[in-house]
């Protein structure tokens, strides 16, 4: 079964507009909505970068049916994973069980702002692994103390925790990344349109099978206009907006 979603792009719109778009997308019949989590836009001309988690809280109240998802959040640089666990639990409560936590290893564009440098990919994947472990432990409702290679947690407890656990999607690319993260995740976030990502994922021991119960979530850029503009040459297509997720 294929579900169709809408991307709330924090690089292209301000927070009030994003909430309006979210409500309109739900009314138009989209099944779910994902939101980028950027500190800076991709291009200066885009001109926006509101705080995604505040917007998600507002969207959770402005909508009632659609699924919500971060697409994606880096839980290892700008945010400590213990804080991400708290934020995800809160959004899950506000949305009454409609939220999926999409995670990734981050991009220099957004994460450099804290002045901690930009680790190599192997280090970022180690950090993401520890972050997922911490978030999973905190979402059990237990008091957590954790000592890792990259992160420490000292007597942390999520006070407002939803009864329905927050499921985690992980953005992966390449066979090595899939084989490492598939057993740690609930869903695949595909960063490129390749069917072999799903095939490889489903071949990994311990990974949830895509189709049931896992989902593969991907994104395609589309362009739509209310009128047709006459052209002298062949038709062309371009730019951005909504993802399609397949079950």
pTM of the model: 0.90
Mean pLDDT of 148-156: 98
Residue 7 domain boundaries: 2-246
Number of domains in the chain: 1
> What average pLDDT does the segment 71-82 reach?
98
pLDDT at position 25: 97
Give the bridge partners for 99, in sequence order.
68
**Is the pLDDT at 236 greater than 50, yes or no?**
no
Q: Residues 130, 148: contact at Cβ < 8 Å?
A: yes
What is the pLDDT averaged over residues 152-162?
A: 98
38 noted as active-site residue: yes
Q: What percentage of residues in the chain have a pLDDT greater than 70?
A: 92
Model pLDDT, residue 212: 87
pLDDT above 80: residue 22: yes
Phi, psi angles (nearest 5°) of residue 169 = -105, 140
103, 171 in Cβ contact below 8 A? yes
pLDDT, one tens digit per residue, over 173-194 is 889 999 999 999 999 999 988 9
Residue-level pLDDT at 222:
84
Can you give the length of the chain in residues? 247
pLDDT digits (tens, 9 = 90+) for 193-216: 899 999 999 999 999 999 989 999
Band (221; pLDDT cuts 50, 70, 90): confident
Q: Decide if 107 is catalytic.
A: yes
The CATH number that applies at residue 197 is 3.20.20.30
Q: For position 77, what pLDDT does the model report?
A: 97
Q: How many CA atoms lie within 13 A of 226 on its CB side?
A: 0
Please give the Cα distance from 5 to 3 (Å, whole number).
7
Residue of 11, 17, 107, 175 with catalytic role: 107
Q: Indicate which residue of 26, 33, 38, 139 is catalytic.
A: 38
Closest to 132 measured CA to CA, from 200, 197, 74? 74
Q: Supply the DSSP string of the chain, one letter for each residue.
A: -EEEEEEE-TTTS-HHHHHHHHHHHHHHT-SEEEE---SS-SSGGG-----HHHHHHHHHHH-SSSEEEES-B-TTTTS-HHHHHHHHHHHHHHTTS-EEEEE----HHHHGGGSS----HHHHHHHHHHHHHHHHHHTTTS-EEEE-SS-EEEEE--SS--SSPPEEEEEE-SHHHHHHHGGG-SEEEESS--HHHHHHHHTSTTPPPBTTTB-EEEE------SSPPP-SS---------EEEE-
Contacts (Cβ under 8 Å, ≥6 apart) of 95:
60, 63, 68
């Amino acid at each position: 079964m294929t579900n169709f979603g809408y991307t709330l792009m924090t690089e292209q719109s301000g927070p009030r507009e994003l909430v309006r778009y979210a409500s309109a997308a739900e009314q138009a019949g989209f099944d779910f909505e994902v939101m980028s989590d950027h500190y800076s836009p991709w291009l200066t001309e885009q001109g926006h970068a509101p705080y995604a988690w505040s917007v998600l809280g507002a969207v959770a109240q402005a909508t009632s049916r659609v699924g919500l998802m971060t697409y994606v959040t880096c839980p290892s640089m700008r945010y400590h994973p213990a804080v991400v666990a708290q934020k995800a639990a809160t959004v899950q409560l506000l949305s009454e069980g409609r939220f999926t936590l999409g995670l990734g290893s981050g991009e220099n564009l957004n994460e450099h702002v804290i002045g901690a440098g930009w680790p190599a990919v192997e280090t970022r994947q180690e950090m993401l692994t520890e972050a997922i472990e911490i978030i999973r432990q905190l979402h059990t409702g237990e008091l957590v103390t954790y000592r890792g290679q990259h992160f420490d947690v000292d007597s942390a407890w999520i006070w407002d925790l939803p009864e329905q656990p927050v499921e985690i999607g992980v953005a992966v690319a390449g066979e090595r990344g899939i084989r490492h993260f598939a057993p740690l995740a609930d869903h695949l976030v595909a960063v490129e349109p390749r069917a072999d990502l799903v095939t490889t994922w489903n071949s990994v021991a311990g990974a949830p099978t895509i189709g049931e119960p896992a989902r593969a979530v991907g994104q395609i850029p589309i362009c739509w206009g209310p009128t047709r503009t006459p052209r002298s040459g062949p038709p062309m297509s371009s730019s951005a907006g909504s993802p399609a997720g397949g079950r």
